Amino acid sequence: MTLLSRPTGAPSELPTELPPDATRAATGIAIVLVAQLMLVLDATVVNVALPRIDADLGFGPAALSWVLNAYTLAFGGLLLLGGRLGDVRGRRLLFQGGLALFTVSSLLGGLAQTPGQLVAARTLQGVGAAMAAPSVLALLTTNAPDTAARNRALALFGAVSSGGASIGLVLGGLLTDVGSWRWTLFINVPIGLAVLMLVPRFVDETPRRDGRFDVVGAVTATLGATSLVWALVQAPEHGWLSARTVGGVVLGLLSLALLVRTERRHPHPMVRPALLRDRQRVLALVVMALVVGGQLSMFFLTVQYDQRVLGLGPLATGFAFLPFSLAIFGMSRVTPQLLGRVGAPRLIAVGTALLTLSFVLLSGVGETSTYVGGVLLPMLLAGTGGALVFMPVTATVLAGVEPEHAGAASGLLQTTQQLGAAIGVAVVASVYAAGAVPESFVPGARAAFLTSAAFAGTALVVTVAGLLRRTAPAAVVERDPEPAPVADLAASGSGSGELQVCSSLEHLIRV
């Protein structure tokens, strides 16, 4: 990623007036971020409600995992397809369609009377999320009035994406304790309807791109991603060397190999090969997968520790993750300024180091540990580290991407996140099971937390050995009056003037 800097002699005064559409743009950004938060937190909002769901519908221990896995499988498997459809058909249109499907399926899930009905509804939720999510980044950047506003929107996107999972635990615990597990799904309905009504007024549509649709690429991308996610989420239950796991991985890899062959020849590919020729982008995707894998596996372990060892209920378990969320949202205010001053690779290195340290500290918790003594500090470190990683990695992945391919790049980024989450949770669950003792959580937890640390530590090594070893000097770039919507997402401006956003967006950030 190119680090932009101020030309010599450029003025550093603050802007004297707002862009004419600043208020509308800030409102549109807020609306899209609300939708992104809903999509992200839905991956975890039902976690703390699983015992109540099992008691009500009678899933059984093995089948209960599909309440989570059905959403993950559909979401992760269809993201690449959703990203490309948005590029071709219009991102706002696909965003609205996906959000409408997500909202309706949330209502159906809340009304479910059998395990099959709930799993089907969760699958449809994942399909809707896969249609809507890849368009979020493109809509944020194309609707921001200037570079500073886009940087702020990108920082908020990173905070929402990384903090949404822990917010889902808080919300899920609150709704389950106060009302019913069904409200973890019903809550999406009024939010989704409000966003759908406001989007046409405040969010502009992106241009549609001409060209034939890559059918073979769509099929192989979807089959490859879905097969890999399916194999990984089932690995802890069936074993890493079982026929299901090995067969799913092999089918996924063969499908992706066919995708690569197809994309090199198709005039309008599903995933542009050029996106993966950039070394910085590929390394950033690897870092993202590793960080998400470590973070989600930490969630998986800490939720169980809080409930099984510390004796916390669903609501208290959710609130136990508040320090993590608050650290993320607090750091999101300063990450754009830090990005401009020190560059993305250094921020990512510090962030991955903090994540590694936090997971190592969690590996020391025991039967006599307390929340304040054993969990609070790691939560704060993990939230701070996550905030320092997500925005710079996102900016690195999207830097230099042409506007017409922004949806595909966003889909690639979010597919990487889903695969990373599936791999992380599957590996950590297997490590924990290998050392587990019946009726006791702690014996298997130490090695499992250290495995989460290994994911973050590997991301640190990749960052130091790859992203930090840049040979090209930072470019000096003049600010365009109407900069491209995605190509300069990593824009910095080293002076205070360029790092300020319009006052309406500042107000949005403070709120």
Distance, in Å, from the CA atom of 314 to the CA atom of 303, rounded to the nearest integer, reads: 9
Q: How much is the pLDDT for 21?
A: 58
Please check whether residue 485 lies inside any domain of the structure. yes
Please check whether residue 10 lies inside any domain of the structure. no
Please check whether residue 6 lies inside any domain of the structure. no
Which candidate, 370, 385, 367, 400, places its Cα nearest to that of 452?
A: 385
Q: Is 139:92 a contact under the CB 8 Å cutoff?
A: yes
DSSP annotation of 145? S
Q: How much is the pLDDT for 370?
A: 92
Q: How much is the pLDDT for 254?
A: 93
On average, the pLDDT of the chain sits at 78
Distance, in Å, from the CA atom of 363 to the CA atom of 277, rounded to the nearest integer, reads: 38
CA 387 → CA 93, 128, 393, 421, distances in Å?
30, 27, 10, 17
Please check whether residue 3 lies inside any domain of the structure. no
Supply 43's token pair. 């991956």
Side-chain-side CA neighbours of 406 within 13 Å: the count stands at 29
Q: 57-106, pLDDT tens digit by residue?
A: 887 655 777 787 788 888 877 887 887 787 777 788 888 999 999 999 99
Q: Is 294:459 a contact under the CB 8 Å cutoff?
A: yes
Counting the structural domains of the chain, the total is: 1
Q: How much is the pLDDT for 497?
A: 29
Please check whether residue 225 lies inside any domain of the structure. no
Composition of the chain by helix, strand, coil, percent to 5 = 75, 0, 25
Q: Is 130:42 a contact under the CB 8 Å cutoff?
A: no
SS (H, E, C) 358-405: HHHHHCCCCCCCCHHHHHHHHHHHHHHHHHHHHHHHHHHHHCCCCHHH
Give the three-state DSSP class for 5: strand
- What are residue 394's DSSP bridge partners? none
DSSP codes, 179-212: S-TTHHHHTHHHHHHHHHHHHHHHSPPPPP--S-
Which CATH number does the domain housing residue 414 bear? 1.20.1250.20
The pTM for the full model equals 0.74
CA 263 → CA 77, 220, 221, 384, distances in Å?
18, 10, 10, 38
Please check whether residue 257 lies inside any domain of the structure. no
Domain coverage including residue 82: 22-204+268-472+479-510
Q: 214-264, pLDDT tens digit by residue?
A: 778 778 888 888 888 888 877 877 888 899 889 999 998 999 888 888 877
DSSP codes, 73-85: HHHHHHHHHHHHH
DSSP annotation of 511? -
In terms of residues, how long is the chain? 511
Distance, in Å, from the CA atom of 106 to the CA atom of 108, rounded to the nearest integer, reads: 5
Give the three-state DSSP class for 353: helix
Q: Is 140:31 a contact under the CB 8 Å cutoff?
A: no
CA 404 → CA 87, 139, 464, distances in Å?
6, 12, 32
Supply 133's token pair. 């999510």
Q: How much is the pLDDT for 16?
A: 42
Please check whether residue 490 lies inside any domain of the structure. yes
Q: How much is the pLDDT for 106?
A: 94
Q: Is 166:325 a contact under the CB 8 Å cutoff?
A: yes
Please check whether residue 283 lies inside any domain of the structure. yes
Match 């391919």 to its residue by tokens. 405
Q: How much is the pLDDT for 121?
A: 95
Number of H helices and E strands in the chain, helices first, is 20, 0
Residue numbers of the chain with a pLDDT score lower than 70: 1-22, 25, 60-62, 141-151, 162-163, 206-213, 403-404, 470-511
AA letter at 308: R
Distance, in Å, from the CA atom of 491 to the CA atom of 511, rounded to the nearest integer, reads: 24
| Sequence-separated contacts (24+) of 431-435 with Cβ below 8 Å | 432/301, 433/236
